[in-house]
Structure 1
Amino acid sequence: MINLPRRPDRRTWMTKTLPPDLPVTFTSDWTGSFDGHELTRNQLESAGYKLFPWKIESDNPWWSRPLKYGEIGCTLAHLACWRHAAETGDEKFIVILEDDAIVRSTFLEDLLVGLHRVVSRNPFDLLYLGRFPLEPEEDQPVTAGFVSPAYSHCTFGYLLTRSALDILLATNLEHAIVPIDEFLPSLYIDHPRPDVRARFPKQLKALAFDPPLVHQRPKDEAGSDTEDSDFVEP
């Protein structure tokens, strides 16, 4: 669960809504450079992190501006979760949730039923539990309740196989940090940005719950720790 120490309100909200028999690890219990309010460029460079040259001339408002420290912190939090999962436990699947995710009381049951339906028929590496599609997708579902995702944003809920962790970590994302929203789709589609596509070529098989299993709280209700941060200085 991606959660910042300064957001105990979100942690409390998530603890109340998550199934009680689902073991959860909160990033707010770790020491790490995850908070965009505290990050500096010097701090990132001293820790060995390198930023991808993100700002380009583009009509896309997300690409024509510098990275935000909140985006960097969010990416580093997801990266820390992958490393932790790779180093501990032997579970076949790892669920990553952000602390503005909305999960139903039947979340775990619905997830297991869905996995039982799809695993043997359509092997995958990444399974979106919820997302925001940015491009049209094929009308024909892969199987009942699942689609092959096109270019999508939002990482408030997804599932990884254990083998996918090795693929994610082998990309050395820490040496070319991009927003996690852009990184994940680059690994299962030809990313629309040539420079991102060249640095992170597709290598994962992705599926997505359709309809979504997890939704996201509105920004005017929960705020945005990613957007509520400064741009990285030149």
Structure 2
Amino acid sequence: MYWQWIIIIAVVNFCTHAGSLITSKLFEIRYINLERQPQKRINIESELGRVFDGYVAKRVEAVDGISLSHSWMADRCMAVMAEFDDPNIVGTEYRSDHPMKWGEVACFLSHYQIWTEMAAKRLELVLILEDDTQFILKDEEFDLHNFHYDLNATIEEFIFHQGELLYLGRCRIGEDIKWKSSKYLVRPGFSFCTHAYMLTLEGARKLISTDILSRIIPVDEYLPLMYGQNPHFDIGWWWGQHKKNETSLKVFAAKWTLAQQYSRPERRVYIEGEMDRVFPGVPRKRVPAVDALDLSADKLIKMGASVMKYYLNPPHDNRPMKWGEVGCFLSHYQIWTEMAEKSLEMVLILEDDVKFVIEWEQFDIDNFHYDLNATIDEFIRHRGELL
């Protein structure tokens, strides 16, 4: 059946123009979105309409980390890997014990439900997206055709080599595997990010064939484990040498990144637009965030700072802080310091993903301003210090 499918695709491509895989709709699209993130749903649907006009993409409701608990997991015979180590944490050592966050568990389960659907419905090829994906098109009118051409050629080559998972975008951490010359593909080394990838039916079957639900790890770690390029885990040790070949995924990555996650510059454009919408003409100041990538234990010492050694993070105990959390704290701290130094009486502090709740622009903006003004008046009257 699989070879018949490949032959059909080859014939279609021979008889039609570049882009036939897209125009013939020979793959399905799924995007993951939280119920409480309607704006992200709007964003990804707009992005899909821009790039895959006419395609019907199916929304997959994301598992919400807020709803998870140890009892919820136990009732479904699931568990996280208790001894999971995360390298992206604060500390002088590269590795340290770090139980998974519920958000990481939910992200894994959100992807897992798509893999299960593929196996149950025998879906041959699916493009799986997270809702912050952006396709890389530099010039709308000219570049859309080029994008379709490159995507089509990349998928064709992926199918020709009997691939099972194809990264359209990723965070490359390890060196790519040396492989014969290919125009559109590389064999990826250790890579993170699961915002945009294509998966075949055979790949989905392999991903759900393991006992991963009894020792869940982040999906970013699981995929490279499954193609033998995760330095933290060995697939032979994980499931035994006897299952190494039957579980190992054949993975490729697009040589040129075709999809990325919304970057910080785009978030700046977003928050500026949101401020213009709600507070037109009101002066505002951008504060450069402290970048977690620039932090280290030595830098904190030079700053005369340190993190709480035994920080408790519910629902997990003794979970060291991540550098991103430290960077977020320091970003806010620099604003508090500026306020004290400049004797600023009151400041509205926003992060760059804020959305003000205004449902009907024409009518509701006045109501919003009225409610905000009344709320601040009452806050001042009660001599509040943080609102």
TM-score by structure 1 length? 0.83
Per-residue Cα deviation, 1:60-92 (whole angstroms, up to 9, x for no partner):
35x53110000000000000011112222x542
Alignment equivalent of 1:154, drawn from 172, 193, 203: 193
Q: CA deviation at 1:140?
A: 6.0
Report the residue type matching 1:114 in the other structure. Answer: T
* Deviation of 1:138 (Å): 4.7
Task: Report the residue type matching 1:36 in the other structure.
Answer: G
Q: Distance in 2 between matches of 1:4 and 1:148?
A: 32
Larger RCO of the pair (alpha carbons < 8 Å, separation 6+) = 1
Pick one of 94, 102, 105 that aligns with 1:72: 105
Structure 1 residues 196 and 219: CA distance shift in structure 2, 3 A: farther
Report which of the two structures shows the higher radius of gyration computed on alpha carbons.
2
Q: How many percent identity over aligned positions?
A: 26
* Structure 2 gap ranges (5+): 1-30, 88-92, 138-143, 271-312, 318-387
Q: 1:123 matched to which residue of 2?
A: 162
CA spacing shift, 1:24–1:142, aligned 2, 3 Å: farther
SS at 1:136's partner residue?
Answer: coil
**CA offsets 1:112-167 (integer angstroms, 9 cap, x no match):** 232223422x2211111110011122576641121000000110011111111111
Structure-1 separation of matches of 2:164 and 2:236: 19
31, 40, 53: which one aligns with 1:20: 53
What is the alpha-carbon distance in structure 2 between the residues aligned to residue 64 and residue 50 of structure 1? Answer: 16
Match of 2:94 in 1: 60
Amino acid at match of 1:12: I
| Normalised TM-score (structure 2) | 0.52
Supply the distance in 1 between the matched residues of 2:226 and 2:233 (Cα, whole angstroms). Answer: 13
1:209 and 2:243 matched: no
Which 5+ residue runs of structure 1 have no aligned equivalent? 223-229
**Matched AA of 2:205:** D
- Partner Cα distance (2:54, 2:77) in 1: 38
1:94 to 126, 143, 154: 126
Q: Distance in 2 between matches of 1:117 and 1:55?
A: 36
- Size of the aligned set, in residue pairs, is 220
- Per the TM alignment, residue 22 of structure 1 is displaced from its structure 2 partner at its CA by 2.2
Q: 1:47 aligns with which of 52, 57, 76?
A: 76
Q: Does the CA contact (< 8 Å) of 2:166 and 2:197 recur in 1? A: yes
CA contact 1:126–1:204 (8 Å) conserved in 2? yes
Coordinate RMSD, CA, aligned: 2.6
Work out the CA distance in 1 between the residues paired with 2:131 and 2:216: 22
**Residue 144 (structure 1) aligns with:** 183
SS in 2 for 1:27: strand
